[in-house]
Structure 1
Amino acid sequence: MTMQTHFMTPSHRPVLHPAREIAEEREEPMARVLVVDDSAVDREIVGGLLKKAGDFEVTHAPDGAAALKSIEESLPDAIVTDLLMPNVDGYALVEAVKEEYPSVPVILMTGKGSEGVAVRALQHGAASYVPKACLAEDLIPTVQRVIAASHEDRTHTRLMHHMQGCELEFTLVNDLRLIHSAVSLFQQMLRCLPLGDEIERLRVMIAVEEALKNAYFHGNFEIGAEDPRPVREEYMRLAIERTYQSPYSDRRIHVTARVDREQAVFRVTDGGPGFDWKRLTATGALAEQDEAARRGVSLMRSIMDEVRYNDAGNEVTLVKRAIHPSGEDDGFDDEDDD
């Protein structure tokens, strides 16, 4: 039996603190991150960024082979790895971790011109990726997002595996906390969809969160459309500022999530003017701010089975189909992958 539930958030403007992460409200031990790179300088740079954030315990490995040995000795919460390395490279490391340690998410670091390889690795199990040119701005939020999603509360996990279908519809005011809450709820809903392992559910939620944050920043608030690509702090400053400015403050994010035993369909619509998505999916060089948007679109397309935009470019539909093990069709075999 399919359950249909419709929610609408209050229409009054909330007091917003977009920069506040939900994780700050809980006291948790420091997350352990393994940094893998054959360059000692790059290992120190990445490790330094993580340590400066104050949320991570960092260990290092010079290549994939050493990383696998380190993982065997002590399981990390996440792995941040370079792609091009001797012995076992980042691509092989992604496959090995997915096979041997399916609960550990892998985040790739890519050099200029290696985005195509990163997309291939995403298609084979990596959780996310960050260009090395953007490490200072994007590394910490990416690692935080991936680890937070992998640590979501699983109180109702077993029950959700037996759900046959569910459809939810939300109209959200512009509040990042609501986006985080929606992503957490959708991740639980996904447990009725056979996806093989927990990391695949995590990857789907990263794609959905990307769509929701695009609707928030680029759609409703139009950040990045007319501005050079701002740093994270500037994104947040503009978001707070435009929360109380018309027409931005009047816009909403409409989200529909429909999940059953065969597929999950997420539709995200913002109140902005839309964008030229065809330009981002075409080949060729783009301006810096457009390259960032292209990475987001590439990430979603590499994880989901379908990514469709409406003509206006202010609505995206993401589809993920069930992954049935050979000879199985009910998906209960992955109930204990938590």
Structure 2
Amino acid sequence: MTKILVVDDSAVDRRLISGLLERLPDVAVHTAQDGLEAADILDEQEFDLVITDMIMPRMNGLTLVERIRERHPRVPVILITSQGSEEIALEALRRGAASYVPKRLAGKRLASTVEQVMQVSHHRNARTELMRCLHQWSFLFALDNDCRYFSAMIDYVQDALEDLGWEDPAERTRVTIAIQEALSNAMFHGNLELSSSLRENDERRFFALAEERRTQPPYAARKVWLEGRLKPDEIFFCVRDEGPGFDTKPFATLMCHAENVESCFGRGVLLMRAFMDEVVYNERGNEVTLIKRRAGWHMGEAADSRISRAAQP
């Protein structure tokens, strides 16, 4: 049964919209007179969809959309727009509404719009349920020497960590900063063979030379390899470049020297070591392994966490 809340300050329009929705199979319709009443109802009951007018007293549709996105992010909102409110509707779409239907075309378009929005919503909710069954996320990427790939990679890892139950946003951020530093070192210092001293002395020249080398042999053919094995209790990353490698001996004592915090080279290694439990380089110096464990974690904790997220409205 799909539970829908219709919000409109006009009793005639509430009846009209409710009548259109009640023609759909397995639909239960509830109503509210304005956004403020709707907000209170949503705090007390669970709904699958909200359909709201834009222009209302006390709390208008735009404010209601923002409130629902903040408190009930899994509940989609469809706007019913009157003539002349298209600009406000566009702003509401930018702020999180799922779709809109002009009020004068509600009889023709409302049912199909509801079906479209609910299909997408059900797909998303099914994915949330599926993620409760996830216990390992593995991948292997061969990335070009382009920072745009690295940004997309960070988003990918963030999503994977959240799906696996790593709930703390600050912890996820620390992990992805460590990965970003490892990827950056692999590209700039490994594949493109740029020195950290050049970046410290002339950052503009450093990035200009990096741009040149990205298209020149032998640098252009080199890849940054990122392997990941992510679990609810432990995450493993291995970043490897195809450059000549580095002397890894200074890495062993890097943490002991405070002046390294200020250097471009040392800062990245310090961040990785601060945020991860293990940071290990291979003998050649072209590969680093990063490991992070969740202290006190047990299987039931992750399952409970993901069940709780799946049950949230």
| Length-normalised TM-score, structure 1 | 0.48
1:245 counterpart = 2:210: no
1:328: how far off? 5.5
The equivalent position to 1:280 in structure 2, one of 251, 256, 271, is: 251
Retained in 1: the 8 A contact 2:276–2:292?
yes
The equivalent position to 1:200 in structure 2, one of 157, 171, 174, is: 171
The aligned runs of 1:1-338 (5 Å cut-off) are 158=128, 160=131, 162-224=133-195, 227=198, 229-282=200-253, 291-324=263-296, 329-330=301-302, 332-333=304-305
Q: CA RMSD in A?
A: 3.2
Q: Distance in 1 between matches of 2:217 and 2:286?
A: 18
1:333: how far off? 2.9
| Higher alpha-carbon deviation: 319-328 or 274-283 | 319-328
1:239: how far off? 1.3
Residues 171 and 241 (structure 1 numbering): CA distance in 2 closer, same or farther, change over 3 Å?
A: same
| Higher alpha-carbon deviation: 300-309 or 193-202 | 193-202
Residues 254 and 325 (structure 1 numbering): CA distance in 2 closer, same or farther, change over 3 Å?
A: closer
Task: Describe the superposition over 1:167-217 as per-residue Cα deviations: whole angstroms up to 9, x where unpaired.
Answer: 111111211111111111111111244445111011100101110111111
Task: Describe the superposition over 1:122-171 as per-residue Cα deviations: whole angstroms up to 9, x where unpaired.
Answer: xxxxxxxxxxxxxxxxxxxxxxxxxxxxxxxxx89946465221111111
1:288: how far off? 7.7
Retained in 1: the 8 A contact 2:161–2:230?
yes
**Which protein is richer in helix relative to its size?**
2
Amino acid at match of 2:286: N
SS at match of 2:242: coil
Residues 238 and 327 (structure 1 numbering): CA distance in 2 closer, same or farther, change over 3 Å?
A: closer
Q: Distance in 1 between matches of 2:249 and 2:186?
A: 17
Query: Number of matched residues?
Result: 184
Task: Describe the superposition over 1:260-316 as per-residue Cα deviations: whole angstroms up to 9, x where unpaired.
Answer: 222111111001111223213315669989932111111101111111100011000
Task: Describe the superposition over 1:33-77 as per-residue Cα deviations: whole angstroms up to 9, x where unpaired.
Answer: xxxxxxxxxxxxxxxxxxxxxxxxxxxxxxxxxxxxxxxxxxxxx
Amino acid at match of 1:218: H
SS at match of 1:255: strand
SS at match of 1:330: helix
Task: Describe the superposition over 1:68-121 as per-residue Cα deviations: whole angstroms up to 9, x where unpaired.
Answer: xxxxxxxxxxxxxxxxxxxxxxxxxxxxxxxxxxxxxxxxxxxxxxxxxxxxxx
| Higher alpha-carbon deviation: 287-296 or 215-224 | 287-296
Retained in 1: the 8 A contact 2:272–2:279?
yes
Where in structure 1 are there 5+ consecutive unaligned residues?
1-154
Task: Describe the superposition over 1:197-255 as per-residue Cα deviations: whole angstroms up to 9, x where unpaired.
Answer: 11101110010111011111111111115736244433321111001222111211111
Identity of aligned residues (%): 36
Residue of structure 2 in register with 1:99 after alignment: none
Residues 326 and 275 (structure 1 numbering): CA distance in 2 closer, same or farther, change over 3 Å?
A: same
Q: Distance in 1 between matches of 2:225 and 2:299?
A: 38
Q: Distance in 2 between matches of 1:314 and 1:324?
A: 33
Amino acid at match of 2:283: D
SS at match of 1:271: coil
Q: Distance in 2 between matches of 1:332 and 1:177?
A: 36
Retained in 2: the 8 A contact 1:192–1:261?
no
SS at match of 1:246: coil
Where in structure 2 are there 5+ consecutive unaligned residues?
1-123
Retained in 1: the 8 A contact 2:214–2:220?
yes
Q: Distance in 2 between matches of 1:182 and 1:226?
A: 27
SS at match of 2:198: coil
SS at match of 1:227: helix
Retained in 1: the 8 A contact 2:261–2:270?
no
Q: Distance in 1 between matches of 2:176 and 2:303?
A: 19
Q: Distance in 2 between matches of 1:288 and 1:166?
A: 35
Q: Distance in 2 between matches of 1:230 and 1:289?
A: 16
Residues 223 and 319 (structure 1 numbering): CA distance in 2 closer, same or farther, change over 3 Å?
A: same
Residues 329 and 228 (structure 1 numbering): CA distance in 2 closer, same or farther, change over 3 Å?
A: closer
Q: Distance in 2 between matches of 1:288 and 1:261?
A: 33
Q: Distance in 2 between matches of 1:327 and 1:181?
A: 29
